[in-house]
Amino acid sequence: MLLSHEDSQLVLVDYQVRLLPCLHQGLDALANAVRLAKGARAFHVPVWGTEQAPEKLGASMPELAGLVTQMLTKTDFSAADILVSALMPILRTPQGNARSLPKHLQKPQVPAPERCSVVLAGCEAHVCLLQTALDLLDREMEVWVVTDACASRTERNRDAAFDRLAGNGAELVTTEMVLFEWLRTSQHPNHKVVQALIN
């Protein structure tokens, strides 16, 4: 299964000024988050951002200014509750043989949202990002975690988060995987935009 830019939404979790300098390879993760956000804008993919207790951890890094559709403030580690209305959770079509039921007992067909793939990146991978991803998976959303745009205070914590996420059904991808899957072909009008982002 490949990502499609028409079905994607990008969520950037807690790239904050007082947090990022404390993280292992935090600036590398930020650089990839910026690439993702710029790519998302080129493909008209909505970009959501979160800030964990900004009065303590500061605002988002200035590199992300102007790249986020909406910034949401949170105190819970998981951002799922504040994101859920923006992300339009998938409501599954009822299973079973509805033809065998009388009309008054049949459940109505629920249309899927326009953008059902949540591309997720952020800090700290083993806390806020992990809890957000697991909560979104519990809400039956499709979650793609961009590993090279995630950071934790230690490499071990970050990698443990990836192991747990993969075990729970999240797709683990990289920044270039996302951008090139959104692109699909060298004939796409955004091909030069993507090339510039990765060079």
Residue type, 195: Q
Give the integer Cα–Cα distance in Å for 198 and 32: 9
pLDDT at 140: 87
**Homologous superfamily in CATH for domain 5-89+121-198:** Isochorismatase-like (3.40.50.850)
Record the tokens describing residue 170, joined without a space: 């999240």
For residue 99, the one-letter residue type is: R
Amino acid at 14: D
- Would you state the pLDDT for residue 84? 84
Q: Compute the distance between CA of residue 11 and CA of residue 40 in angstroms, rounded to an integer.
A: 10
When pLDDT is cut at 50, 70 and 90, the band that residue 197 belongs to is very high
Q: Are 73 and 54 in contact (CB under 8 A)?
A: yes
Mean pLDDT of 32-43: 97
The mean per-residue pLDDT over the stretch 19-43 comes to 96
Residue 111: the pLDDT is 47
Distance in angstroms between the alpha carbons of the first and the last residue of the chain: 26
User: Which H or E element spans position 9?
Assistant: strand 8-13
Chain mean pLDDT for the chain = 89
- The pLDDT of residue 173 is 98
Q: Which pLDDT does position 85 carry in this prediction?
A: 77
pLDDT of residue 107: 56
3-state SS class at 14: coil
Sheet with 8-13, strands from edge to edge, namely 70-74, 47-52, 8-13, 117-122, 142-146, 171-173
Contact criterion met (CB below 8 Å) for 67 and 37:
yes
pLDDT computed for residue 42 by the predictor: 96
Report domain extents, the chain.
5-89+121-198
Q: Which pLDDT score, from 0 to 100, does residue 8 have?
A: 94
Contact partners, residue 42, CB within 8 Å, separation at least 6: 190, 193, 194
Cα–Cα distance measured from residue 10 to residue 42, given in angstroms and rounded to the nearest whole number: 13
pLDDT at position 181 over 60: yes
pLDDT one-digit tens code per residue, 76-121 = 999 999 998 777 644 444 455 555 556 555 555 544 455 689 999 9
Write down the pLDDT at residue 114.
Answer: 59
Q: What is the pLDDT of residues 145-173, one digit of tens each?
A: 999 999 999 999 999 999 999 999 999 99
Residues 6+ apart with CB under 8 A from 19: 26, 52, 57, 58, 123, 124
Share of the chain above pLDDT 90, in %: 80
